[in-house]
Chain A
Amino acid sequence: DGGITQSPKYLFRKEGQNVTLSCEQNLNHDAMYWYRQDPGQGLRLIYYSQIVNDFQKGDIAEGYSVSREKKESFPLTVTSAQKNPTAFYLCASSIVTGNYGYTFGSGTRLTVV
């Protein structure tokens, strides 16, 4: 079945530590996105990529980094510079035109311990 796989489902980060969230899709979609969801805040765009080896900052990119070396993969690194990383992280993909909406992965819940 085609879809988006995010791993891990739950992740715990110590203060000052970098962690990487995985996102893989087999939908042959060109565009991929990372959103962060906090209670009562809705979804906020972190980074997006419309083509391999290219990506753009979203609305809240500070403290995060991404890479897009393969069409299928778009990992997100939460760096130690992100001071409040506890949130629900959602990866999504779409046909590049964006007119068909997004398909979301199941999400990664990150908690700082």
Chain B
Amino acid sequence: QKEVEQNSGPLSVPEGAIASLNCTYSDRGSQSFFWYRQYSGKSPELIMSIYSNGDKEDGRFTAQLNKASQYVSLLIRDSQPSDSATYLCAVNRNNRLAFGKGNQVVVIP
């Protein structure tokens, strides 16, 4: 089992809809979790961090963490064309981040 898995293929959503991304991780001892946004040809940019079970909201973004089930999710509400990017899930293990392969999101105007 890979440390961080993001299995969904490219996600196409209409403008204004909700985009939902999921991530699972293998190390039950992980304590901090992050979502990065990466535009094509650019470096990753941190958009959300979450450390405890439940939901954390920041603007149009909501991160959800369930440590018992070992998954993290990201919701993007009112999706905009500028949200079209690859979203990387990252999990802290021993002060190093392990990254998933990412999920591409395409927002259709």
B95 lies within 8 A of chain A by Cβ: yes
Q: How distant is B13 from chain A, measured CB to nearest CB, in Å? A: 21
Q: How far is the CA of A5 from the CA of B31 in the complex (A)?
A: 29
How many residues on chain A are close to B (CB under 8 Å)? 24
Q: Which of B14-22, B43-51, B58-66, B74-82 contacts the other chain?
A: B43-51
Shortest Cβ distance from residue B95 to the other chain A in the assembled complex, whole angstroms: 4
Asked if A104 meets B51 with Cβ closer than 8 Å, knowing A50-B95, A98-B95, the reply is no
In the complex the two chains form, what is the Cα distance from A104 to B39 in whole Å?
13
| B101 close to A98 (CB less than 8 A) | no
Q: Give chain B nearest CB distance to A39 CB in angstroms.
A: 10
Known contacts A43-B88, A107-B42; is-contact A102 B97 (Cβ 8 Å): yes
Task: Please measure, in the bound complex, the distance between the C-alpha atom of A36 and the C-alpha atom of B88, giving whole angstroms.
Answer: 14
Contacts of B98 in A (CB 8 A): 45
**Does A48 interact with chain B (Cβ within 8 Å)?**
yes
CB within 8 Å for A98 and B43 given contacts A42-B88, A43-B88: no
Is residue A84 contacting chain B, with contact meaning CB distance below 8 A?
no
Contact A104 B44 (CB under 8 A): yes
